[in-house]
């Protein structure tokens, strides 16, 4: 009985000594520039991402937030923002990683002309490519978002993961 208790204490002590460094390579965060085709021909913006790479599989899960700066015309007070939760499935090549992405998306549109703001959720599907250079990863992706608020849209992201 005493040997089991000692073994349990030893295993617990070893588990406490294991650093969390392996998780550092699995947590992904980054910034990106965004281009969407809403509000009269398109809007530029930016955003952030936070995610997790699955250790053994070429899969990552990412949450992203975007804020875009639409041309409001005479309204002058419109807004366009949103977020997504996506899963990426990459081809396991050494430096260049093409991937497919898909997930849930939410977009909020406010035309600024005393009309009620529109918030819609939907699905997104897309393709991208990521280039890994040491601890820095650059990527570009194109997505088609099925949000119907007021129209489905194409969204481009170009960014960096750290």
User: Buried b vs exposed e over 91-104: b needs ≥16 C-beta within 10 Å?
Assistant: eeeeeebebebebe
- Rounded to the nearest 5 degrees, what angle is found at the Cα of 50, between the Cα atoms of 72 and 147? 45
For residues 69, 123, 23, 7, the Cα torsion angle rounded to the nearest 10 degrees is 150
Give yes or no for a cis peptide into 150 (omega within 30° of 0). Answer: yes
Is the pLDDT assigned to residue 151 strictly greater than 50?
A: yes
pLDDT band at 149 (very low <50, low <70, confident <90, very high): low
pLDDT surpassing 70 at residue 59:
yes
Q: If pLDDT is split at 50, 70 and 90, which confidence band does 77 have?
A: confident
Question: What is the Cα–Cα distance from 157 to 17, expressed in whole angstroms?
Answer: 40
Fold of 24-161: Porin (2.40.160)
pLDDT tens string 44-58: 999 999 999 887 888
116 vs 76 pLDDT, higher one: 116
The per-residue pLDDT for 111 is: 76
pLDDT digits (tens, 9 = 90+) for 87-131: 999 998 889 999 999 999 998 888 777 777 888 899 999 999 999
Whole-prediction pTM: 0.77
Taking the domains of the chain in order of start, what are their residue ranges?
24-161
**CA–CA separation, 63 vs 129, rounded Å?**
18
């Amino acid at each position: 009985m005493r040997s089991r208790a000692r073994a349990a204490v030893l295993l617990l002590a070893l588990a406490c000594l294991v650093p969390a460094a392996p998780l550092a390579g699995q947590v992904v965060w980054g910034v990106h520039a965004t281009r969407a085709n809403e509000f009269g021909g398109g809007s530029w913006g930016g955003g952030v991402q936070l995610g997790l790479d699955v250790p053994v599989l070429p899969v990552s899960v990412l949450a992203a937030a975007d804020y875009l700066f639409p041309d409001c015309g005479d309204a002058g007070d419109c807004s366009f923002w949103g977020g997504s939760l996506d899963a990426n499935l990459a081809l396991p090549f050494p430096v260049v990683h093409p991937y497919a992405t898909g997930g849930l998306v939410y977009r909020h549109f406010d035309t600024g002309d005393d009309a009620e703001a529109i918030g819609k959720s939907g699905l997104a599907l897309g393709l991208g490519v990521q280039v890994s250079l040491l601890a820095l990863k650059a990527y570009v992706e194109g997505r088609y978002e099925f949000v119907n608020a007021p129209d489905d849209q194409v969204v481009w992201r170009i960014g960096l993961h750290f």
